[in-house]
Structures are given as C-alpha cells and as structure tokens.
A and B are shown apart, each in its own frame.
Chain A
Amino acid sequence: MGYTMAEKILGRAVGRGVRAGENITVSVDVAMLNISMASVSRILKRAGVTRLWDPGRVVCIQDHNVPAPNEREAEVQRTIREAVQAYGIEAYYGENGGICHQVMVDQGHVRPGEVIVGSDSHTCTYGALGAAATGIGVTEMAYVLTTGKLWFRVPETLRFDLRGRLAERVTAKDILLWIAGRHGVDVAQYKAIEFSGEVAEALSIDSRLAMANMAVELGGKFGFFATDGATRAFLRGRIRGEPEDVRPDPDAGYETRIRVDVASLEPQVALPHAFDNVRSVSEVEGTVVHQAYIGSCTNGRLEDLRAAAEILRGKRVDRFTRLYVLPASWAVYRAAMEEGLVRTLLDAGAVFPGCDCGPCIGQMAVLAAGENCIASSSRNARGRMGSTDSGVFLASPATVAASAIYGKITDPRKV
C-alpha cells in the first residue's frame, strides 16, 4: 500500500516509513511564532533557556494589534522584539510584514515536504504548498524552540474528491463552507485532509491557501494539496532552489473519501455563531449587516481583493455600512495597489486600516450590541468580533463585497 501525504512527509522527517496511528518524534524544519513569541519567550526565560536549538529555523511575525493601540500592547511588542534580538532570529517581520501565514508564503518560508509548526491554529495553511504544517500551543512551542523536536501521532487521512466546475462567483470558500455545513466541524478531527480532484487541481494558489487554512475549522491537523506546476510557479523566486514534488501515492490508504460535486453549488454563508451553521446565500438574502470585512489569513489575498473590486467597481458601499479591507500582508497590499484594486475599493467607500489580524479577533473594528458583520474570515463564535449580542456571518469576499453595497446579505451573482 502506498503512502498519504502526511505519511510521506512525516516518514521522511523520521527517516523511515511511517503509517497512520504511529506515535513519532520528528525534527521540526521551521517554527513560526506571531504574538505568541511574547508568551513563549516568557516561558523560556522562566525555564532558564537562553539559547534556541536553531535560530535560523525560527520565523517571528508581528500581526496582532499592529500598530500598538495602547501601552500594554506596546510592552508586549517590545518583549517580542527584545526576544528576537536576544535569540538571534534573522527572520523577523515587524510592522511592515502582515498576517503571519501570508508572510510565511509570500517570503518563501514554506517549502513542500517540510514539517512546520506554528503557535497559531491556522498554521495548517501551508499544506496548500505541500508542507506538513500545524498549530501548537505556546508551551509546546517553547519545547520546540529548546529542542527542535515534537511528538506527533501520524494522522489518518480524509480525502475530499472535488468534482465538477464552479459556477461564476462561487469560490473555494463556498466549497469549504458547504463541506462544514454538510459534514460538521469535526469531520476531520485528528486527521489530515487531502483536497483532490479536478476542482482542486484547477484552483489558484490563493484559493488553495484559503481551503488549507480552513482545514482546522473542520478539526483537521493538516490540509494538503498535492504539489504541481502551479505550486512550482508560485514558489519560483520565493525559495532557493527547486521545490520537490510532494504527492500522495495512487494506492495510498485513506480512512475516508468524500466526493463533493461543486457544479450546482451556490455561494454559502455561515450564520452566527458556528462555522457549520451554513445556508445558501439565497436563504439568508436581505439579512441586515452593519459591517463588512474583507481580510484575515483565510481570505485577504490578492485574488480576494480582485473579486471584491470586480463587484464594487463603480458602486458605492451603503452609507450606514462600513467596509473594512485588510490585505493579508503588505506585499498583497502593494500588489493590489499596483493593479489599481486599492483605488477601486477606495472609490467605492472602503477603508484600509492596515494588514493585521484585528477585526477577526475583535481587536479592531469592534461590533456593538445588535450589530452584524459579514466577514471573509473563518471564525464566528459568539462575541468574537465584539459584543456578545453581535453576530458574524462568514462568506466569500465576493459575497461580502456585494453585501456591503446594500447593507444586506446579497448574492454576488446579482450585482
């Protein structure tokens, strides 16, 4: 029997063939920290650790509360800068980087076939480029920074076979939301996901990153796409040397295979307060929204801003609805500017507060009681964006943009 992507990558990391269910200790290729560096450095200091296992394999990115809105956050961010200097970490991105997961792929810190851990749950994003990447907590991250090792259980794999062709203005986000609504947020619990089939192969890297990002929303440990020409084209010029190909064997052993036909899929919306509380947009059209938010590590990429600009070109955002656009990184912001997307969105009335995690986590653009936000991010727990009496609706950037025009949830195909 052949190997899944998880078995291949973890097997290579330990130097022998491994199978789902085995417990292994692996050497980590890259460790990613964001604001978590503040907590991790405190743990290391308290434990008496003064030297990291390999500062050259550590990346630190400031992406929470940037720029610092108050003294307390300023102190947190100072702690992070001091730790980065003390440990001799070269790969540090301060104010001008962006959201950690986008910076990681923008700046070539993700290579196919590597084992990457990050103290942020959306670290699974890098599976879009064929890396075995997953989120861990700060205490385990402190252990990794000390030893370079972490224990893993080799996960079983759930393979989604995506068939058909997406209709106009229906996106990868809609596929993932539909899967959550149909199969629940624990369908992939403890498992690796492989997204495959003709739809997966045709998806852009931006769309693959969005889907892999949301693997954790389905309970998954990894969210993989097999590498191909699109992966190589994306990585060329970002990483040194040629990326290797990482693909599952044709006779790999899957725990579950789920076929999804996307041909008749409509734009989807997750209603408050759960990611799997999903309806087709036609069922919730007209619901009032006070805020619209395009950004986050889930859907704040160039392709997402293009989709929003296409819908908002020549239109105006409803005057009592605010539209916040936070490109996922300053590199994405620059590219959007060079394409004229920023101007189009500004003309429509959008506001660009910066490139951090802010609104997704209720640290900026906070919702008042009774308010609704439609967002391109991926979490909508009660109170996540502000008042416990506010609601977050999750949708694709196209659906968010269309909804901003009318201040109501709107089908992007009708704009």
Chain B
Amino acid sequence: MGSLRFAGKVWIFGDNIETDALAPGKYLVLPIEEAATHCLETLNPLFPSEVRPGDIIVGGRNFGCGSSREAAPAALKHLGISVVLAASFGRIFFRNAIALGLPVLACPGIAGTFREGDTAEVDVAAATVRHLGTGVTIAGQPLSEEMLRVLEEGGVFPMIQRIAREGYGGHMGMAAPRL
C-alpha cells in the first residue's frame, strides 16, 4: 500500500448527486472524452472546464445514486479526479468506481469540513482525510484489503485480462468489497 495518497483542490457537491448529473443520458452516445465535458455541468457549469487533474470531489450523502451507468465514474476518472470523498455513496456507483480503479472513500462526518477550493490530503488506505489549511483530520470508512488491491491494480479489467490469459482459478484470493 502507500500509493493511494492524494492532495488536491476540492470541488463541493451536495446530497443525492445522481449519475445523471455525472454523465447525462443524452451524451452517453458520445465517447467518454466528450461525455466528460458535460460532467456535473447541470450543478456547476464551470466544473467540466475548470476541473484539473488531481482535483478531489467532496460530495454529501448518497453520491452517485440513480442509473448504473459506468460512464459516471469513468467521466470523473477521465477528468483526472484523484479521489471521490462523500458522506455516503450510491452502491452501484461505489462498485463501479472501484471496478474502474477510481478511489472512493465514504466519510460520514465530512459535511462542513471543506469549502470549494480548499486543499484536501487523502490517504485512501489509511482512510484519513486532512484539511491542509485548518489541519482538521477526519476518518473515513476503511476499504477492505481486497478493494484496496483492486484499486492498486487499476481496477477489475486487469483481473479479467489475467483470467483470459491464465484461466479462472477462483477469485484471485479476492473477498468481497463491502457493497
């Protein structure tokens, strides 16, 4: 472990952010590079153009609820978001993010910790989040060892590649993520 550490500028979003806002249905026909330019535009029109690689999303409760579209975490990953923090997550979004190798961390007490533009330091493996200005540190809900390993490997895709190459030998020692 150790590589899942990030520091970046924070973008704040509210409760119940739907995958429809992350990847609007009407743009799903487009390649992810184009669909991503509409990511979260209905909630913050500046976001898709001003977000920079390494930035961090801080959401409220139930982040990524709604449709199962994997374009939602894929759009964030494409835009270079390093980690998504939220008070809680919609379960399919959470699974999809891990499957794509996009780090996510549920932090039930995160509301009010950051303002837009603040800088956060996140250690996903240790499940800690620190406000680099105020020094306030909050704890997240730790991911399982197996989920961390999927993230370190860059997602589920490399596992499928390996199975295609070497055959299926049980779950690669993987136990279940918590969703």
User: A interface vs B, CB < 8 Å?
Assistant: 23-25, 39, 43-44, 46-50, 65, 72-73, 76, 119-121, 123, 135-140, 142-143, 146-147, 149, 151-153, 185-186, 189-190, 216, 219, 221, 274, 276, 361-363, 366, 379, 381-384, 386, 388
B95 sits at the interface (CB 8 A): yes
Contact A153 B157 (CB under 8 A): no
* Alpha-carbon distance A381/B22, docked complex (angstroms): 11
Q: Which 8 A-B pairs have the closest CB atoms?
A: A23-B176, A151-B176, A381-B20, A137-B96, A121-B68, A137-B70, A48-B164, A186-B62
* Shortest distance from the beta carbon of A280 to any chain B beta carbon, whole Å: 21
Contact B62 A219 (CB under 8 A): yes
Given contacts A23-B178, A137-B99, A186-B88, list 14 more A-B pairs with CB under 8 A. A25-B175, A47-B164, A48-B164, A72-B29, A76-B29, A137-B69, A139-B99, A139-B155, A140-B156, A146-B163, A185-B65, A186-B61, A363-B25, A383-B24
| B20 nearest in chain A by CB position | A381
Contact A379 B67 (CB under 8 A): yes
B49 sits at the interface (CB 8 A): no
Contact A119 B68 (CB under 8 A): yes
Asked if A138 meets B70 with Cβ closer than 8 Å, knowing A153-B176, A186-B88, A189-B90, the reply is: yes
Q: 29 A-B pairs, CB-CB below 8 angstroms?
A: A23-B178, A25-B175, A25-B176, A123-B68, A136-B68, A137-B99, A139-B96, A139-B99, A142-B157, A142-B160, A143-B159, A143-B160, A146-B168, A147-B168, A151-B176, A151-B177, A153-B178, A185-B62, A186-B88, A189-B90, A189-B91, A219-B65, A221-B179, A361-B25, A362-B24, A379-B66, A382-B20, A382-B21, A384-B25
Asked if A190 meets B179 with Cβ closer than 8 Å, knowing A47-B164, A362-B26, the reply is: yes
* Alpha-carbon distance A363/B30, docked complex (angstroms): 13
Within 8 A of A (CB), among B91-129: 91-92, 95-96, 99-100
* Shortest distance from the beta carbon of B96 to any chain A beta carbon, whole Å: 4
Contact A39 B25 (CB under 8 A): no
* Shortest distance from the beta carbon of B109 to any chain A beta carbon, whole Å: 16
Most chain-B CB neighbours within 10 Å: which of A136, A139, A151? A139
* Alpha-carbon distance A21/B165, docked complex (angstroms): 33
Please give, as numbers and ranges, the residues of chain B lying within 8 Å of A366 by CB-CB distance. Answer: 26
* Alpha-carbon distance A49/B160, docked complex (angstroms): 8
**CB within 8 Å: A-B pair count:** 143
* Shortest distance from the beta carbon of B6 to any chain A beta carbon, whole Å: 22
Contact B65 A186 (CB under 8 A): yes
Q: What is the 8 Å Cβ interface bit string for chain B, positions 17-56, against chain A (1 contact, 0 not)?
A: 0101100111001000000000001110000000000000
Contact B16 A363 (CB under 8 A): no
* Alpha-carbon distance A123/B92, docked complex (angstroms): 12
Number of interface residues of B (CB under 8 A): 45
User: B interface vs A, CB < 8 Å?
Assistant: 16, 18, 20-21, 24-26, 29, 41-43, 61-62, 65-70, 88, 90-92, 95-96, 99-100, 144, 155-157, 159-161, 163-165, 168, 171, 174-179
* Alpha-carbon distance A24/B161, docked complex (angstroms): 22
Please give, as numbers and ranges, the residues of chain B lying within 8 Å of A49 by CB-CB distance. Answer: 160, 163-164
* Alpha-carbon distance A46/B25, docked complex (angstroms): 25
* Alpha-carbon distance A47/B163, docked complex (angstroms): 9
Please give, as numbers and ranges, the residues of chain A lying within 8 Å of B157 by CB-CB distance. Answer: 43, 46-47, 139, 142
Asked if A137 meets B159 with Cβ closer than 8 Å, knowing A39-B70, A73-B29, A186-B16, the reply is: no
Contact B156 A139 (CB under 8 A): yes
Please give, as numbers and ranges, the residues of chain A lying within 8 Å of B41 by CB-CB distance. Answer: 388
Contact B160 A43 (CB under 8 A): yes
Asked if A121 meets B67 with Cβ closer than 8 Å, knowing A136-B95, A147-B168, A381-B20, the reply is: yes
Please give, as numbers and ranges, the residues of chain B lying within 8 Å of A146 by CB-CB distance. Answer: 160, 163-164, 168
Most chain-A CB neighbours within 10 Å: which of B18, B88, B178? B18
Please give, as numbers and ranges, the residues of chain B lying within 8 Å of A379 by CB-CB distance. Answer: 18, 20, 66-67
Please give, as numbers and ranges, the residues of chain A lying within 8 Å of B165 by CB-CB distance. Answer: 48
Asked if A382 meets B164 with Cβ closer than 8 Å, knowing A39-B70, A186-B88, the reply is: no
Please give, as numbers and ranges, the residues of chain A lying within 8 Å of B16 by CB-CB distance. Answer: 185-186, 274, 276
* Alpha-carbon distance A105/B69, docked complex (angstroms): 22
Please give, as numbers and ranges, the residues of chain B lying within 8 Å of A135 by CB-CB distance. Answer: 68, 92
* Shortest distance from the beta carbon of B175 to any chain A beta carbon, whole Å: 5
Please give, as numbers and ranges, the residues of chain A lying within 8 Å of B178 by CB-CB distance. Answer: 23, 153
Please give, as numbers and ranges, the residues of chain A lying within 8 Å of B144 by CB-CB distance. Answer: 23
Contact B95 A140 (CB under 8 A): yes
* Shortest distance from the beta carbon of A252 to any chain B beta carbon, whole Å: 22
* Alpha-carbon distance A383/B179, docked complex (angstroms): 29
* Shortest distance from the beta carbon of B72 to any chain A beta carbon, whole Å: 9
* Alpha-carbon distance A135/B161, docked complex (angstroms): 23
* Alpha-carbon distance A149/B41, docked complex (angstroms): 37
* Shortest distance from the beta carbon of A202 to any chain B beta carbon, whole Å: 30
| B177 nearest in chain A by CB position | A151
| B174 nearest in chain A by CB position | A151
* Shortest distance from the beta carbon of B29 to any chain A beta carbon, whole Å: 6
Please give, as numbers and ranges, the residues of chain B lying within 8 Å of A151 by CB-CB distance. Answer: 171, 174-177
* Shortest distance from the beta carbon of B24 to any chain A beta carbon, whole Å: 6
Please give, as numbers and ranges, the residues of chain B lying within 8 Å of A48 by CB-CB distance. Answer: 161, 164-165
Please give, as numbers and ranges, the residues of chain A lying within 8 Å of B65 by CB-CB distance. Answer: 185-186, 219
* Shortest distance from the beta carbon of A6 to any chain B beta carbon, whole Å: 13
Asked if A189 meets B62 with Cβ closer than 8 Å, knowing A135-B92, A139-B155, A146-B168, the reply is: yes
Please give, as numbers and ranges, the residues of chain A lying within 8 Å of B21 by CB-CB distance. Answer: 381-382
